[in-house]
Amino acid sequence: MAAAASLVAAVGTVAGMVSALDGPEGGDVARPRVTRSPDLLPLPAVPTATSASVSPGPSPSPSDAKTAKKKPKPAPSASTGRPVAPASTRLYRHADSQVVDWVRAHRSDPRRPLIESRIADRPAAVWFADFTPGTITSRVRAVTSTAAHEGRVPVLVPYAIPERDCGGASEGGAPDIAAYDGWARKFAAGLGSGEVVVILEPDALSQTECLSGGQLADRYAALARAGRAFKSANPRARVYYDAGHSDWNPAGTQAARLRAAGAASPDSSDGIFTNVSNFNRTSAEVAYARRVLAAMGGPPSLGAVIDTSRNGNGAPANGAWCDPSGRKLGQAPTLRTGERGIDAYLWVKLPGESDGCKGEPGSFAPDYAYDLAD
């Protein structure tokens, strides 16, 4: 990944996501299973001559080597790492995740009560990172129907854009734009009729340096079509587009990309998301999101959501990205932020899942989770 958010877990290794395999006859039969979630690594934007390697994850991918970047801007003064508000009861908590499995299997572990109460019991996003057109509708529907039955709002992350991760550790996705269009339409067919939040393709508009001009135009058009398909299939779907984060692309640059991808149109978009899997403080992301929204020039109804899963102490001053010590959980997930233009604080990255230093990339690391929650 070319800037502050890069993935180490490859497609097909996504935890916290509802995953299913095509049946023996290719039927659209949902079979939820827990795998691993993508880990967006907070690497700042300007390349240097040095590089750092990350151990490859268990799924087939070429190389997990990542290029080191210059350090991000220093974080503002420290604040408490504990969640400052209870989680919204309206957000959906997916019961099939690595942290939930760990809690169930370790009832006598002294770390369990804290991890359970502060992480496992919180609502978090459900990732769909595998390109399985034959099952995507039923797998999305399995989440949205369960959430609707509970009267809660699920957060879904479609993550199958072609040329994903620019050929890095999380390369994959659909083989081409036409295949992605079909996958997105099938994803839309599972959205149901209840309220749902869609975090559309993290990094797809922030990391584009590997694309030719034609490929970039195709990506913009595909994301616009996906947003329209989601909102057409379910008018209550709230679709948010990738704005990177405050230490990555300038607000004007990101706003131009967002406009090109349809994010300024209410027919396809409800706004933007920032800080996915990163550590930047909420205050910095709020200010950045507002600058991006202003530069986009869309209707005032557009808003922003911010990933607060690990930003309680802000980003490390030394630019460390791999399970850095001293980080804490941020603002608990909620649909009521009290901030103008900020629609939600969400846990898109699943806290406690390793970046690759305190466990295998994407695996649940209880010591890391405990440190985040303590």
DSSP 70: P
Is the C-alpha dihedral spanning 276, 280, 283, 287 positive or negative? Answer: negative
**Phi and psi of 344, rounded to 5°?**
-165, 150
The catalytic residues are: 165, 203, 355
How, if at all, do strands 196-200 and 155-158 pair? parallel
Q: How many CA atoms lie within 13 A of 311 on its CB side?
A: 30
Element (H, E) at 305: strand 303-307
Note whether 242 and 205 are within 8 A (CB). Answer: yes
314 closest CA partner among 322, 324, 305, 304:
324
Q: How big, in percent rounded to 5, are the helix, strand and coil portions of the chain? A: 30, 15, 60
CA torsion 238-239-244-245 (nearest 10°) is -10
